[in-house]
Amino acid sequence: MLSTSHYRLPKVKMLLLLEELKANSIAVGSLCVPAHRSEAYIENLLAKILEFEKSPEGLAKSIADSPTGAILFWGAHHRYLVMPPFPVFEERSANVCEIEPLSSLLNAEFRIGLVLVRLGAYGIGVVKGEKLLASKVGTGLVHARHRQGGSSSHRFERHREKQMETFFTRVCLHAREQLEPFAAQLDYVIYGGVRETLLDFRKQCHFLHQFDPKTLDVLLDIREPNQAGLQQAIREAWSSRVIQWVEK
């Protein structure tokens, strides 16, 4: 019987795992699946790597749900599904371990725009690989929600909405200042912070709409959008989600 572990691996540790898998390449099959493939289609692909009736429950769904695609490594002693930090585009399957699609991805020098927003704080950065090329962090006054009702509460909420509008305008200006010089070179844009806040911010910041085709469908959980938060965002942006199966 197989037990399952879910975790994230930063870039360096993921590359070390790939080297371990390469050392056992004869005994490990591999499958690389781009995003937006149906579960039924993936089930057919899995039959090339393992007997599908013995595959773990939910494996095909985990692959289908990944916005960046997935890479499966499967053998008697090594069973990993990796959801990479950036999209894979080539479908590949082999009865030996092919680490090249993922190792090439992790060694690429992508240019990435990072936009981190929480009410009252922001961090904007441009990264090449894992090196921060440009950045701007700051704060702004946005009061917490009013807990009481009545007319005073309505006045407070209108005042708060104005604070949010002013804050978003400032953040959008800084996003333009940092990202526009690199706009044509950016490979991806990644957001971090609070989802609802980011949705409101992106509605107001029309400048960012040009990057929608390059925006990854991920959300970095950054609690403090400051300079340290930008460094954390870089590590998170390059980390891979991993599901591992081991015999109990």
Question: Tens-digit pLDDT profile for the chain (248 aa)?
Answer: 788 999 999 999 999 999 999 887 777 889 999 999 999 999 888 887 776 557 788 899 999 999 999 999 998 888 999 999 999 999 998 888 899 999 999 999 999 999 999 988 999 999 999 999 999 999 875 555 555 554 556 665 675 678 878 889 999 999 999 999 999 999 999 999 999 999 999 999 999 999 999 999 999 999 999 999 999 999 999 999 999 998 87
Q: What is the pLDDT of residue 95?
A: 84
Other beta carbons less than 10 A from residue 42's beta carbon:
20
The whole-number pLDDT of residue 150 equals 47
DSSP assigned state of 17: H
pLDDT given at position 159: 59
In whole angstroms, give the CA distance from residue 136 to residue 36. Answer: 35
Q: Which of the 8 DSSP states describes residue 27?
A: G
3-class DSSP assignment, residue 154: helix
- pLDDT at position 69 is 97
Domains contained in the chain, CATH given: 2-107 (3.30.960.10), 111-237 (3.30.420.60)
Q: Where are the alpha helices (DSSP H) in the chain?
A: 11-23, 39-46, 59-65, 100-106, 151-179, 195-204, 227-237
What are the CA-CA distances from residue 85 to residues 12, 29, 228 (Å)?
13, 21, 20
Closest of 25, 1, 19, 45 to residue 9, by C-alpha = 19
Provide the pLDDT for residue 185. 96
Query: Sign of dihedral through CA atoms 47, 51, 54, 56?
Result: negative
CA separation (Å) from 76 to 21, 36, 120? 12, 29, 51
